[in-house]
């Protein structure tokens, strides 16, 4: 208690505040939520550390000036005035300075945002909108609570076999990210693929106005970002702003996401591990070497194999095949395209260490549907000792306890041998879920992710499978 109070007077306090603003992408709401939740400000930079950009240096400089001014004023009042009231005021100001600073620090941020960032963004986005409106490429937009990046990469890989395709790298799914991407276009692209990120109502509609898509894919709706949306219905409504924009133009919807399918309109194309449209999936199999299935429509049959892991990948692959087929790719190009798909960075990405243990890095997958799919995949891997390592999922809002208990139950039902939990505010619910259904494996606890990662090579042997599920950024500490 005293230690956490004193941590506000630690020289590192200002750096911690600025770091968290940067980690929250300067979202004041997220920053303030973190501030109100945090008790100890001395050990904030755990997973990452402050990157000294121009903005950060400006904020650090201003914060120190404000801090010194406040302390100066407090000391002046305390020592220079004979009046008891003024001395008392000085003392109170001295004590409150760190608290005031935490709020005052966002003022320059607001000034920068309203007077510099927003006008520049407005100008840049207008230009992006005009350039994309005249670009002849087919524009495909992907929206959803989860699976957008995987869908983008699948589409990009498959369609690239017969078309000139471009898609923003990494998670360039904000307006400025898209601007950066459009800047680099050659102009002769035949297909452009965009991820539409959603944090608040209206986000997807705004991005649709910017991108002007003719095709759409909705990868699913779930509790991701629930803290911001407050309800899953609000998230669904925001994601389906893409459907509103497209009208009668083709929209693919992931049929394995109940919340997405519930909002589908007649005429939308539902994809799942059973097929898409008239395409039917047969003989789907998945193991550590990849996923294979047969796709049949009338007289056309594709024997497909992808390097992606898990049967939940069959639906998105089938959707990509249908889109490729409609865009005129040949059978050979489609088969080659699917064969070229392989696990993406940190999304069920396998690597084998020297002792022969296989790590499946799924650290970018932090949503309940993704978790369910992965546990299903782990359950299908027999004759291996399986380790499931997780710090839990973030931003699950009021559903957090229920979701984490459910994960525990799913892990128990899949008979995962070892569940490795990182201590934080949610993992005790996973443990409770496991115990509730009399889990017969072992629960291993670690204080933080780094100590778990250091210990894992010493816990595993040849043939073991270690699944790393999700990451736990510092702002959720």
Region near other proteins per CB under 8 A, out of 204-212, 220-228, 254-262, 349-357: 349-357
User: Using CB under 8 A as the criterion, what x/- string covers residues 85-104 for binding other proteins?
Assistant: --------------------
Q: C-beta of 293: minimal distance to other proteins in Å? A: 33
Q: How many CA atoms lie within 13 A of 378 on its CB side?
A: 33
Q: C-beta of 385: minimal distance to other proteins in Å? A: 9
Region near other proteins per CB under 8 A, out of 175-183, 354-362, 370-378, 467-475: 354-362
d(CA 140, CA 42): 46
Question: What does residue 249 show for φ and ψ, rounded to 5 degrees?
Answer: -70, 155
Considering CB under 8 A, how many residues would be counted as binding other proteins? 19
Q: Is 200 in contact with 227 (CB distance < 8 Å)?
A: no
Region near other proteins per CB under 8 A, out of 106-114, 245-253, 268-276, 351-359: 351-359
Residue 27 makes contact with other proteins by CB under 8 A? no
d(CA 397, CA 168): 30
Compute how many other C-beta atoms are within 10 angstroms of the C-beta atom of residue 54. Answer: 7
* Complex with other proteins: residue 155 or 468, whichever CB lies closer: 468
Q: C-beta of 420: minimal distance to other proteins in Å? A: 11
Q: C-beta of 472: minimal distance to other proteins in Å? A: 19
Task: With CA atoms as reference, report the closest residue to 214 among 313, 333, 323, 328.
Answer: 323
d(CA 264, CA 371): 23
H/E stretch holding 287 reads strand 279-287
Q: C-beta of 389: minimal distance to other proteins in Å? A: 13
* Complex with other proteins: residue 61 or 463, whichever CB lies closer: 463
* Complex with other proteins: residue 460 or 475, whichever CB lies closer: 460
* Complex with other proteins: residue 248 or 461, whichever CB lies closer: 461
Question: What does residue 351 show for φ and ψ, rounded to 5 degrees?
Answer: -150, 145
Q: C-beta of 288: minimal distance to other proteins in Å? A: 18
Q: C-beta of 351: minimal distance to other proteins in Å? A: 12
* Complex with other proteins: residue 182 or 357, whichever CB lies closer: 357
Residue 355 makes contact with other proteins by CB under 8 A? yes
Q: C-beta of 444: minimal distance to other proteins in Å? A: 7
Q: Is 456 in contact with 385 (CB distance < 8 Å)?
A: no
Q: C-beta of 459: minimal distance to other proteins in Å? A: 5
Helix axes 203-211, 232-239, angle to 10 degrees: 10
Compute how many other C-beta atoms are within 10 angstroms of the C-beta atom of residue 310. Answer: 22
Region near other proteins per CB under 8 A, out of 132-140, 230-238, 350-358, 466-474: 350-358
Query: Residue 318 is encoded by which pair of tokens?
Result: 């089938």
Region near other proteins per CB under 8 A, out of 113-121, 324-332, 353-361, 467-475: 353-361
Task: With CA atoms as reference, report the closest residue to 221 among 317, 318, 143, 313.
Answer: 143
Q: Give residues 402-461 in contact with other proteins (rule: CB under 8 A).
A: 444-446, 454-461
d(CA 155, CA 338): 9
Strands 358-362 and 386-390: unpaired
Q: C-beta of 343: minimal distance to other proteins in Å? A: 21
Question: What does residue 90 show for φ and ψ, rounded to 5 degrees?
Answer: -60, -45
CA distances from 59 to 19, 49, 69, 109, 443 (A): 10, 16, 15, 8, 43
Residue 356 makes contact with other proteins by CB under 8 A? yes
User: Could you list the residues that contact other proteins (CB under 8 A)?
Assistant: 353-357, 444-446, 454-464
């Amino acid at each position: 208690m005293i230690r956490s109070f004193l941590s506000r007077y630690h020289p590192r306090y200002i750096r911690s505040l600025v770091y968290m603003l940067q980690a929250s992408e300067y979202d004041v709401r997220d920053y303030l939520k973190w501030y109100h939740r945090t008790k100890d400000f001395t050990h904030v930079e755990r997973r990452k550390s402050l990157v000294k950009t121009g903005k950060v240096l400006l904020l650090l400089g201003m914060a120190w000036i404000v801090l010194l001014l406040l302390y100066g004023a407090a000391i002046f009042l305390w020592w220079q005035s004979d009046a008891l009231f003024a001395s008392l005021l000085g003392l109170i100001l001295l004590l409150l300075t760190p608290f005031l600073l935490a709020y005052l620090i966002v003022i320059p941020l607001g000034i920068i945002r309203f007077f510099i960032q927003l006008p520049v963004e407005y100008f840049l986005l207008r230009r992006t909108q005009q350039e994309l409106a005249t670009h002849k490429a087919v524009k495909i937009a992907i929206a959803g609570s989860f699976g957008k990046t995987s869908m983008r990469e699948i589409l990009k890989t498959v369609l690239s076999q017969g078309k000139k395709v471009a898609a923003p790298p990494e998670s360039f799914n904000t307006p400025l990210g898209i601007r950066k991407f459009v800047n680099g276009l050659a102009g002769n692209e035949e297909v452009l693929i965009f991820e539409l990120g959603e944090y608040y109502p209206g986000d997807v509609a705004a991005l649709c106005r910017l991108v002007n898509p003719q095709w759409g894919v909705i990868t699913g709706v779930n509790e991701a970002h629930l803290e911001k949306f407050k309800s899953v219905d609000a998230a669904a409504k925001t994601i389906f702003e893409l459907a509103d924009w497209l009208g009668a133009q083709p929209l693919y919807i992931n049929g394995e996401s109940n919340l997405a399918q519930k909002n589908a309109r007649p005429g939308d194309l539902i994809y799942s591990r059973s097929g898409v449209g008239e395409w039917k999936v047969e003989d789907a199999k998945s193991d550590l070497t990849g996923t294979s299935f047969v796709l049949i429509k009338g007289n056309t049959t594709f024997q497909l194999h992808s390097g992606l892991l898990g049967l939940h990948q069959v639906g998105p692959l089938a959707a990509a095949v249908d889109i490729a087929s409609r865009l005129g790719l040949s059978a050979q190009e489609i088969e080659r395209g699917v064969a070229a798909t392989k696990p993406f960075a940190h999304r069920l990405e396998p690597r084998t260490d020297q002792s022969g243990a296989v790590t499946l890095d799924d650290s970018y997958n932090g949503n309940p549907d993704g978790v369910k799919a992965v546990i299903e995949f782990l359950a299908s891997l027999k004759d291996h000792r399986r380790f499931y390592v997780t710090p839990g999922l973030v931003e699950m809002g009021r559903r957090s306890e229920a979701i984490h208990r459910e994960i525990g139950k799913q892990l128990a039902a899949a008979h995962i041998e070892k569940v490795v939990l990182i201590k934080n505010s949610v993992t005790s619910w996973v443990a409770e879920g496991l115990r509730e259904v009399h889990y017969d494996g072992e629960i291993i606890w670690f204080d933080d992710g780094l100590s778990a990662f250091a210990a894992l090579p010493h816990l595993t042997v040849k043939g073991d499978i270690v699944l790393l599920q999700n990451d736990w950024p510092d702002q959720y500490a």
